[in-house]
Amino acid sequence: MEIDTQNNFYGDKMYELAKKLFPLCRSITGKGLRDSLYILNEFLGERERERERERERLSIHSIPSGTSVYDWVVPDEWEINDAYIITPDGEKICNFKENNLYIVNYSEGINKELSLEELQQHLYSMENMPDAIPYVTSYYERRWGFCISHEQRKKLKNGIYKVFIDAKHYSDGVLNYADLIIPSTQNNSEEILISTYLCHPSLANNELSGPIVAIYLIKWLLAQKERKYTYRFVIVPETIGSIVYINQHLEQLQQFVKAGFVLSCVGDDKQYSLIHSPYENTLADKVAMHVLKNKVNFKEYTFIDRGSDERQYCSPLVGLPVVGICRTKYGNYKEYHTSKDDLNVISPQGLQGAFEAMQEIILNLEINEYYKSTTICEPNLGKRGLYQTINIQYAGSVSWAFLGYCDGKNDVLDIANILKIPAYELKEVINALKLHGLIK
């Protein structure tokens, strides 16, 4: 398995995919989410030769509204067709068809006239970012409401407003999510989990970037001839989706997941961020640190700073070895959860950077093993062409530096950390030592 970044810069293609997905009005349930999953599947491959490619496309699952999942209930499916406000002057504002952020996500339907005073209780704006529409949701309590820029809100005059929201909640609807298992080529049931979410409407970095990077990781992994691990990709609506997913797969996940990564806000080009698991001691933490610590503008966060689906995967009774991976972390860039988190926040370079970081993480996991030297004392590397036979000035070699720690107590990542080199640079050394029977 090799990083193919020298030949393949996918950033532009990823950005095109973002542009295609951007306009849809997604929520935790409903058509917007479903259509977005279909678009992702189209990207994964042509529909011809359906049967053969079955395993190379996302499986899209439907869970009935009302299903109990641990402490939660799968919410009703939401349908939204139109929404707007007519001002006393007859102006149509907060037009859903212009920007789906104008509507409080998961809002109830309404069709009513009311005073400005009454309307104000249903408006959401941000004083500290007066020209942006905020992204507001109300999933677990039924409300109706509009989001509006604070500038526009301040200009509203007294009088009678007409509010119209053509939205419905279906108790016989479903919640959708998608997953894809890419099997190990070595019949290894140990899994690497990559999870991301797709429930935000017209917002780019948070969150189209995660699913897009995931799709390209799927394409890259499917093209590999060898995969030590099985890879489990999960695309869900945030929170309730991962709870549903865990509810349906807990035993499998707890038994097989060796490391997992929640991708979120991976489209900008400013930073790299890691949100650690609670004790920062899992393989996911180790490999992510190993790769990310060398990135420019790397920021390390503790589990206290969590905010996405690592909350569920790492919760006390789930306890999976999962970390969060971001470029600039959610909540830490000013456009976050506003209409300003648009296609200008993400970039081909930003998406490509996240893609490459995840490739490095995967490559390091693929070569990671516990090796043990097979010889008492150092082996004679020189006679095998693994070391110079003429000795002038003192010179070590990566081979024997590596061998010195092959005592079965350290994995390749540990040794690479000791040697202060990227683990996947040890790949050739390991192959040569294995070929000569010097480690096992």
For the CB of residue 212, give the shortest distance to a second copy in the complex, in Å. Answer: 21
For the CB of residue 159, give the shortest distance to a second copy in the complex, in Å. Answer: 26
For the CB of residue 57, give the shortest distance to a second copy in the complex, in Å. Answer: 28
Closer residue to a second copy (CB): 67 or 247: 247
Closer residue to a second copy (CB): 159 or 385: 385
The Cα-based distances of 272 to 279, 291, 339, 341, 413 in angstroms read: 20, 10, 23, 18, 20
For the CB of residue 208, give the shortest distance to a second copy in the complex, in Å. Answer: 18
Which two structure tokens, joined as six digits, stand for 395? 């010179």
- Coil, helix or strand at residue 382: helix
Closer residue to a second copy (CB): 314 or 346: 314
For the CB of residue 316, give the shortest distance to a second copy in the complex, in Å. Answer: 4
Q: Which residue, among 81, 338, 326, 54, has the nearest Cα to 197 in the 3D structure?
A: 326
Binding site for a second copy (CB under 8 A): 69-72, 104, 124, 126, 134-141, 143, 239, 242-243, 246-247, 250, 278, 302-304, 306-307, 311-312, 314-319, 330-331, 336-337, 372-373, 375-380, 382-383, 389-394, 396, 400-401, 403-408, 418-419
The Cα-based distances of 323 to 50, 102, 274 in angstroms read: 35, 33, 7
For the CB of residue 148, give the shortest distance to a second copy in the complex, in Å. Answer: 13
Closer residue to a second copy (CB): 5 or 255: 255
- Coil, helix or strand at residue 424: helix
Which two structure tokens, joined as six digits, stand for 222? 């499917």
Which two structure tokens, joined as six digits, stand for 342? 């648009």
Closer residue to a second copy (CB): 215 or 426: 426
Sort residue 348 into left (φ over 0), alpha (ψ -120 to 50) or beta. Answer: alpha
Contact in structure between 382 and 31 (CB atoms under 8 Å):
no
Q: Is 399 exposed, middle or buried (0-12, 13-18, 19+ CB in 10 A)?
A: buried
For the CB of residue 299, give the shortest distance to a second copy in the complex, in Å. Answer: 16
Q: Please spell the DSSP secondary structure of 11-61, one letter per residue.
A: HHHHHHHHHHHTTS---SSSHHHHHHHHHHHHHH--SSSHHHHGGGSPEEE
Q: How many whole angstroms from its chain centre is CA 136?
A: 21
Q: Looking up tokens 């959860």, which residue turns up?
A: 337
Residue 116 makes CB contacts below 8 A (sequence gap 6+) with: 156, 157, 158, 159, 161
Closer residue to a second copy (CB): 109 or 278: 278
Closer residue to a second copy (CB): 182 or 429: 429
Report d(CA 379, CA 281) in Å as an integer: 33
Residue 242 makes CB contacts below 8 A (sequence gap 6+) with: 195, 197, 234, 236, 309, 312, 313
Which two structure tokens, joined as six digits, stand for 152? 């526009």
Closer residue to a second copy (CB): 61 or 143: 143
For the CB of residue 348, give the shortest distance to a second copy in the complex, in Å. Answer: 27
Which two structure tokens, joined as six digits, stand for 339? 């209409």
Closer residue to a second copy (CB): 11 or 134: 134
- Total Cβ atoms within 10 A of residue 255: 10
Q: Edge-to-edge strands of the sheet including 298-301?
A: 59-64, 174-182, 230-236, 191-197, 257-263, 322-326, 272-275, 298-301
For the CB of residue 39, give the shortest distance to a second copy in the complex, in Å. Answer: 26
For the CB of residue 336, give the shortest distance to a second copy in the complex, in Å. Answer: 7
Closer residue to a second copy (CB): 1 or 246: 246
Closer residue to a second copy (CB): 57 or 276: 276
For the CB of residue 300, give the shortest distance to a second copy in the complex, in Å. Answer: 15
